[in-house]
Structure 1
């Protein structure tokens, strides 16, 4: 079949060339249109469910929401684990599935939806679980809303206005963008209309809180009647009672040019709605209406007083988070002492949005559509934004893709140029170099075509790690064999086509076996599962397609080009370089053959010494891909309030902004309103995009030889920036635990481990107090381990609660129920929504809430009055007070609210406070009348697989991950006694699982190759000698990692896989040569010398193309090079040692047994 293909190609050269041109066109089209990712999503199917339970403590959330949901979702097909967090007002569950094509995100999501309809026990009223749109790599675009300012520098719109525009306009616009699953907003305030009752006025007028709430609920409705038929027309009958006519005031300002005028109209519309609320009639006394105006804080409006000053106000929902934003406006001197306001604008309160990509969708087309949507929205003709506002982008994944793509493209082009140069140097024939070089881009274009046709994405790891030595090897074999035979004038009487056909047929068997062996070498890449499988599977596919394309081209296009270009073949003598290499190689080989045992002993010592070096190599899961940003997290005391966290964030921004490498800073204090992030007020997250590295100032003095090569100064490395930043933040802001990462990396590691941090120690156990003690003990140990930094405990305890236990005995005395007390607390301290303000499509709560000064501390809250409506008041004889008859109210008191008026019998009823109906509780929740109302409680409750745990997060800097965690494990191994246990999680866990899988996948791959070799040679001795080449190249790979200080990682392991394939392929061809010459009758020594010398040039070409093809990737320090760098270092180092060692060891080993009769077919793959 293969030989027919070769013959057909030589018979139809024009067709082959046209097909090659067609492949080039299709390949370029595919290359331009195929989706490119920074790296693929390494997370399995993860479905996150969130449930808001406003006002509930962490313990209540766990008991009433989290546990029932965990029980409901348990046992779903393919479910690996369930992580949950319970905190104030929020339950968050992350369900992680096993890796595999059968467990896609869509199937997992559908399983969750099915289970949500069968929750094991009823959830509290108003709690509705929902699936979060969050994805570890889905945050592809971020922006803030830019707000215009007036002449005094004040923002013309309120945060209520901006947040409403984001939630009700922009979110809907971005959800319509293809491939976008959702958007999440952070910052700003959600408008709420608050009615603030005055308890004294309510009491004097005989109005209860329930009456006021009922009035608000019943006076803001619209109902429909039926049809009436006046004449021939059908008309509907409607009763409109909605405040403001349910019209959206924003519609009145759209299209205005003046933002100040627009804001004035909005404020006037708010006052109009407030007046309508104040004018509502609650009751009537002696035919005189009692309005909301009469019973709210401050009473009726005095002349000149604005309606929204007090009593009925436009407020906002309780803030759970806040956004700060700083962006550089101009260049500033390095480490400038100027305030950040002088070099940029710093704003304490902004509204930001994150656009989320649907899991599995293509990033580049989505980003293109998002940018088009932003341009459309910012265009004044769009007409949906408030006048003067616009979207300001501060993160676009396109920038990262472009930078890393440029880096990879530069490495590829440099590698191709070096490969062509090497080919010309060794072959000394420009035609030969061109023929081989043509196959490199065509093979890559074939791979891109296959990826595009199959709907797969290319990623920068799969592209940047392509080894040209592997791709070009088949063409090198074909061209070198044709060139050598033509130079030797073999078959001179035959036509050129027949001669080339014979030369190619000589090696077709060897080519097929070589490619088959390379495919087996890449079995570990195809067999990988887990995060490493997600990362390297596209690379394996790219290699497979490239090898397949290169083989087809080597058997079709390469012979055709040789036939066309070698018609006037003039053999060129070996150039000086090849002759010099052969001369030096010959005398060294003869020396080794003269002392074979000594050579073997030396090689054994070298291999053994290298094996002893392996334990000294550092270990990590994957090298960290440079994303061009810093993701910083600062954790403070758990009982910290939002204002304190915002103040800390402002100080931290001032410190970070002084670094000239920083482009902008976005701080997230607390969490968003929708619960898509599960942080408390104690947490501050900082997104710090950096400038391009080429723009970083050169601040570090150079010394020694580096000064002469790179100049007197250099730019700081990112690690140096982080170290300096960390030291300064810890010095200025003590008590805050900092953690440095990157945006995508942080999201991925959190998704895989369930903890925000690169690595963590999870301590499982039932008792919170004991968990805290163990965590404190472990933290002290971890801080003493070299290389472990930023150690922090995700505390469970630490939240502060004011807990008022409703005392049933006290309530019985006054006829008050628990529901009455709870209603007062939820309305007075919280804000109980009674109705909704309808503004077009927007809805905002109308709530009752006590004025702030009446609910600021324990004393004021205990003084809140409670209505007594089920108690019959019997007045003493002669009191002079006559209760009013049913339905006849007493005349109202003066508007001034004088307390001297006693005409209302309700005013004679004892004043019952909240403090009269509640009692403190003790440790076991029994009533403790003399105890405090203050109680410490849980802030966040972490669970995994139904078990509580506490986490100690940490980073590793200045040391490899494996040795640092191994030392920490040794120091903490005796800490835990049943029922408590410690589990190491995060990147270390992924590394251990990946290494465990590689420990059996790689030997399995080598076993398959061993079987193939034996099938080809029918000799265990030949197979074992060929396999010795694996140890030779491994020596080079290990030493290259050690000398460059590169940690062993999955990327490095893939480099060894590639190296083993090349080494075995080279060994196969060399031993096959020896056998072929022995079959011809040459003595062992002569066969070894002649065969080795003939292989000098092909081996040098293959090795040097492999080395120089990946050398740019091995030495690159630019963004996008980090992931493929260990792989490239291993291949470059291993192939370099190949030139020095395996060309001597295999001939020496063959000399021990080569005198025996070669097995049948043992030389069939020589060329």
Structure 2
């Protein structure tokens, strides 16, 4: 089959060249159009379900919502674990599936949808679980809404206006963009119309809170009648009673050019709706109406008083989160200024939005469409934004993609150029160098074509880690064999085509075995599962396609080019470099063969010493991909309110803004209204995009030899920035625990571990107090360990509750039910919605709520009245008190006098307060001896697989992760005794799982290679000697990691896999040469010397192309080079040592047994 392919190619050279040109064209097209991701999504299928339970404590949420949902979703096919969080008003469940194609996100999501229809027990009224659109790597675009200001600097539009525009207009616009699954908004306020009743006025007029609520509900509705048939026309009958006619006031301002005029119209429309609410008739006394105007705070409006100042106001729903935004000036001083105003613009309360990519979709096309939509919306003629408002982008993943792609492209081009130079240096023939070098871009283009055709994405790891030594090896073997035979004038009487065919046929067996061995060497990449499989699976595919393309090209295009370019072949003598290398190598080889035992002892010492060095290497899962940003998290006391957290955020922005490397800052205090982020007021998150590294000021003085090479100063490293920033924040803002990460990395690690932070210790157990106690001890231990930083406990307890326990006996005395009391609390304090203000497609709550001064503390809340008539709570009046259609035209009654309804039972019965119906109790629900209603409760309840846990998060700096956690595990083991258990999670957990899988995958791969080698040589001795090459290259890889201070990671492990494949291929060809020369009758010594000298040039070419091809990636410090750097360092170091060790060890080992008769076929792969 292979020989037929070679023969066909030589018979049809024009077709082969045209096919190569076609491949180049299609490859370039594929390269330009294939989707490129910064980072492959390492998370398995994860489905997040959120359920809002407004007003419920964490314990109630856990008991009534979280546990039933956990039971419902348990046992789904492929489900690995369920993590849940229960906090005030919100239940969040993350369900993680096992890795594998059988459990895609779509199938997992459908399984969850199916289970949601069969929840194990009824959920509380109004609680509806929904699937969250959040994705670990899906946050591709972020923007903030800019608001116009008047001459005094005051913003023209309210936060209600901006939030409504985001929720009801922009969110829908971006959801229509292809590949976008959803958008999440954060910050701003949701408009709410609040009716603030005055309890004294209610009592004076004999109106109950229930009557007022019923009026709001019944007076804002539209109903339909039936058809009437006047003549031949069918006509519907409708009664329209919605406030404002259900018209959207924004439609009146969209065409205006003046933002000030638009804002004036919007405020006027709000006041018009307030007047409508104030004029509603609640009841009538002596045929005179009692309006809402009469019973609200402040009573009837006085002349000149605006309607929205009190009584009925435009307010907003309880805020759960807040956004702050700072952006740097284009020109800023290089040193840290004293004030945040000196370097940029700070805005304390903004509305921001995160655009989410659907899982599995292509990033670049989605971003292109999103930016086109932003441009369209920002056009004044779009008619979608309020006049003067703009969408301002502060994060666009295109920037990261472009920067990292440029880094990888630069490394690739530099590597290719170095490879061409090396080829010319060793072959001393420009035609030969071109023939070999042309296969590199064509093989890569073939890989891109296959990715594009199969709909797969390329990523910077899979592209940047390609080893040119492996790709070019097959072409080197073919060209070198053709060149050497032509130089030796073999078969001079045959036509060039026949000669080329014979020369290539000599090595087709060796080529196929080499490729098979390389495929077996890459079995660990294909067999990886978990996060490392998601990361390196695309790289394995890229390698496979590149190898396949390089092999086909070496058997088709390479022979054709040799036939065409070598027609007037003139052999060139080996250049000085090759002769010098052979001379020095021969001298050293003869010395080693003269003292074989000493040589083996020295090699054994080097290998043994290297083995002792392995435990000294640091361990980590994966080096961080530089994203060009920082993601900070500050955790404060659990009972902190939102205003306090926002004040801390403003202070933190001022500190962070002093760093000249910072471009902008977005602070997220609390959580968004839709519950897609599960943080309380105690949490502040900071997204800090950084300037391009080339623009960082040079602030650090240089000393010594570095000063002479790189100048007197240098820019700070990112690690130095983090240390300085952390020190400043801890000094100025005590009591807050800080954590530093990056945006994508933080999301991925949280998705995999269920805890926000790089690493965490989870303590499982049933009792909250014991969990807190053990967590405090573990925290103290971790803080004492060298290299462990930013230690913080995600406390379970610490939230403050003002709990009013309804007393059944007191309620029985007055004939009041618990539901009656709860309704008063939810309405007077919690702003229970009674109706909705319809504004076009928008809906806003209309609620009743006591004025703020009547519900600010325990005393005022206990004083809330509960009206009763004959020991019955009155929620509505009889038919005599129903508002009449003509009542609105009657004059309002006086507050006192004959017009007041003194016969109404409400006015004559004793007034019962909330304090008369509740009893203070403690945590165990026993009466509180001090009479306090305050109680400390759970803030956030964490669960995994149905068990509660508390988490201690930490980071590791200036030390490898593996040794730090190993020490921590040893020092904390005494804390965990049944029923309490400690589990180390986060990056460490992923590292341990990956290493465990590699421990059996790599030996399996080597076993397959061993079988292949034995099948080729039929000799255990030959196979074992070839395998000795693995130890040689491992020496170089280990020492390169140690000397560069690089931790062992999955990326480094992949580098070793590449090395093993190259080393075994080289060993296979060398031993095959020895056997072939022995079969020809040469003595062992002569066969070793001649065979080794023949392999000097091809070995040098393969090794140097591998070294120089990845050298740019090994030394690069630019953004995008971090993940491939350990791999490149291992390959460069291993191949460098290969030039020194394996060229001596294998010949010496062969000399011990080479006198025996070579096995049949043992020299068949020599060329």
TM-score clears 0.5: yes
TM-score normalized by the length of structure 1:
0.98
Distance 2:257 2:882 in 1: 64
- Cα 1:881–1:1017 shift into 2, 3 Å: closer
Residues 286 and 889, structure 1, Cα contact 8 Å, conserved in 2: no
Residues 99-125 of structure 1, C-alpha deviations (whole Å, 9 max, x = no match): 000000000000000000000000000
Q: CA deviation at 1:929?
A: 6.6
- Cα 1:165–1:888 shift into 2, 3 Å: closer
Q: CA deviation at 1:390?
A: 1.0
Residues 13 and 560, structure 1, Cα contact 8 Å, conserved in 2: yes
- Cα 1:441–1:890 shift into 2, 3 Å: closer
Q: CA deviation at 1:903?
A: 7.1
Q: Secondary structure of the equivalent of 1:974?
A: helix
Residues 883 and 905, structure 1, Cα contact 8 Å, conserved in 2: no
Q: Secondary structure of the equivalent of 1:319?
A: coil
Matches within 5 A, 1:679-1078: 679-869=679-869, 871=871, 894-895=894-895, 906-928=906-928, 930-1078=930-1078
- Cα 1:876–1:21 shift into 2, 3 Å: closer
Q: CA deviation at 1:931?
A: 2.9
Distance 1:406 1:985 in 2: 35
- Cα 1:164–1:1059 shift into 2, 3 Å: same
Residues 284 and 882, structure 2, Cα contact 8 Å, conserved in 1: no
- Cα 1:406–1:567 shift into 2, 3 Å: same
- Cα 1:638–1:899 shift into 2, 3 Å: farther
Residues 81 and 95, structure 1, Cα contact 8 Å, conserved in 2: yes
Q: CA deviation at 1:977?
A: 1.2
Q: CA deviation at 1:1032?
A: 0.2
Residues 205 and 893, structure 1, Cα contact 8 Å, conserved in 2: no
866-875 or 665-674: which moved more?
Answer: 866-875
Residues 820 and 873, structure 2, Cα contact 8 Å, conserved in 1: no
- Cα 1:262–1:900 shift into 2, 3 Å: closer
Residues 224-271 of structure 1, C-alpha deviations (whole Å, 9 max, x = no match): 112222233322211110000000000000110000000000000000
Residues 511-545 of structure 1, C-alpha deviations (whole Å, 9 max, x = no match): 01001100000000000000000000000000000
Q: CA deviation at 1:910?
A: 1.1
Residues 286 and 899, structure 2, Cα contact 8 Å, conserved in 1: no
Residues 123-150 of structure 1, C-alpha deviations (whole Å, 9 max, x = no match): 0000000000000000000000011011
Equivalent residue number for residue 268 of structure 1: 268
Residues 285 and 891, structure 1, Cα contact 8 Å, conserved in 2: no
Q: CA deviation at 1:881?
A: 21
Distance 1:879 1:522 in 2: 84
1107-1116 or 883-892: which moved more?
Answer: 883-892
Q: CA deviation at 1:343?
A: 2.0
Residues 23 and 442, structure 2, Cα contact 8 Å, conserved in 1: yes
Consecutive unaligned residues of structure 2, counting only runs of 5 or more, are none
Residues 289 and 883, structure 2, Cα contact 8 Å, conserved in 1: no
Q: CA deviation at 1:976?
A: 1.2
Residues 285 and 890, structure 1, Cα contact 8 Å, conserved in 2: no
Distance 2:918 2:576 in 1: 100
- Cα 1:440–1:135 shift into 2, 3 Å: same
- Cα 1:435–1:80 shift into 2, 3 Å: same
- Cα 1:1084–1:381 shift into 2, 3 Å: same
Q: Secondary structure of the equivalent of 2:955?
A: strand
Residues 404 and 1119, structure 2, Cα contact 8 Å, conserved in 1: yes
Residues 868 and 906, structure 2, Cα contact 8 Å, conserved in 1: no
Q: CA deviation at 1:442?
A: 0.3
Q: Answer yes or no: is 1:454 the counterpart of 2:454.
A: yes
Residues 166 and 185, structure 2, Cα contact 8 Å, conserved in 1: yes
Q: Answer yes or no: is 1:543 the counterpart of 2:572.
A: no
Residues 881 and 905, structure 1, Cα contact 8 Å, conserved in 2: no
Residues 415 and 1108, structure 2, Cα contact 8 Å, conserved in 1: yes
- Cα 1:888–1:1153 shift into 2, 3 Å: closer
Q: CA deviation at 1:927?
A: 3.7
Residues 544-593 of structure 1, C-alpha deviations (whole Å, 9 max, x = no match): 00000000000000000000000010110000000000000000000000
Residues 171-229 of structure 1, C-alpha deviations (whole Å, 9 max, x = no match): 00000000110000000000000000000000000000000000000000001112222
Residues 1103-1141 of structure 1, C-alpha deviations (whole Å, 9 max, x = no match): 000000000000000000000000000000000000000
Residues 174 and 182, structure 1, Cα contact 8 Å, conserved in 2: yes
Q: Secondary structure of the equivalent of 2:297?
A: coil
- Cα 1:880–1:156 shift into 2, 3 Å: closer
Residues 286 and 891, structure 1, Cα contact 8 Å, conserved in 2: no
Distance 2:145 2:1101 in 1: 58
Q: CA deviation at 1:328?
A: 0.7
Residues 284 and 889, structure 1, Cα contact 8 Å, conserved in 2: no
Residues 884 and 890, structure 1, Cα contact 8 Å, conserved in 2: no
Distance 1:923 1:1070 in 2: 79
Distance 2:155 2:225 in 1: 45
Q: CA deviation at 1:892?
A: 8.6
Consecutive unaligned residues of structure 1, counting only runs of 5 or more, are none
Residues 709-756 of structure 1, C-alpha deviations (whole Å, 9 max, x = no match): 111111100000000000000000000000000000000000000000
Residues 873-895 of structure 1, C-alpha deviations (whole Å, 9 max, x = no match): 99999999999999999999734
Distance 2:241 2:130 in 1: 33
- Cα 1:445–1:473 shift into 2, 3 Å: same
Q: CA deviation at 1:870?
A: 5.1
Distance 1:327 1:878 in 2: 61
Distance 1:927 1:803 in 2: 12
Residues 380-423 of structure 1, C-alpha deviations (whole Å, 9 max, x = no match): 12111100011000000100000000000000000000000000
Residues 16-48 of structure 1, C-alpha deviations (whole Å, 9 max, x = no match): 000000000011111111100012100000000
Distance 1:885 1:275 in 2: 17
Q: Secondary structure of the equivalent of 1:96?
A: strand
- Cα 1:543–1:834 shift into 2, 3 Å: same
- Cα 1:486–1:898 shift into 2, 3 Å: farther
Residues 987-1033 of structure 1, C-alpha deviations (whole Å, 9 max, x = no match): 00000000000000000000000000000000000000000000000
Residues 1010 and 1023, structure 1, Cα contact 8 Å, conserved in 2: yes
Residues 631 and 741, structure 1, Cα contact 8 Å, conserved in 2: yes
705-714 or 831-840: which moved more?
Answer: 705-714
TM-score normalized by the length of structure 2:
0.98
Residues 797-822 of structure 1, C-alpha deviations (whole Å, 9 max, x = no match): 00000110111111112111111110
Q: CA deviation at 1:333?
A: 1.7
- Cα 1:682–1:885 shift into 2, 3 Å: closer
Residues 244 and 272, structure 1, Cα contact 8 Å, conserved in 2: yes
Residues 1092 and 1143, structure 2, Cα contact 8 Å, conserved in 1: yes
Residues 64-119 of structure 1, C-alpha deviations (whole Å, 9 max, x = no match): 00000000000000000000000000000000000000000000000000000000
Residues 46 and 95, structure 1, Cα contact 8 Å, conserved in 2: yes
Q: CA deviation at 1:869?
A: 3.6
328-337 or 150-159: which moved more?
Answer: 328-337
Q: CA deviation at 1:898?
A: 13
- Cα 1:821–1:1155 shift into 2, 3 Å: same
Equivalent residue number for residue 597 of structure 2: 597
Distance 1:161 1:876 in 2: 35
Distance 2:213 2:862 in 1: 21
Distance 2:898 2:177 in 1: 61
Q: Secondary structure of the equivalent of 2:309?
A: coil
Residues 228 and 236, structure 2, Cα contact 8 Å, conserved in 1: yes
Distance 1:975 1:412 in 2: 51
CA RMSD of aligned residues (A): 2.9
- Cα 1:890–1:440 shift into 2, 3 Å: closer
Distance 1:874 1:52 in 2: 31
- Cα 1:509–1:608 shift into 2, 3 Å: same
Distance 1:1149 1:984 in 2: 46
Residues 869 and 906, structure 2, Cα contact 8 Å, conserved in 1: no
Q: Secondary structure of the equivalent of 2:393?
A: strand
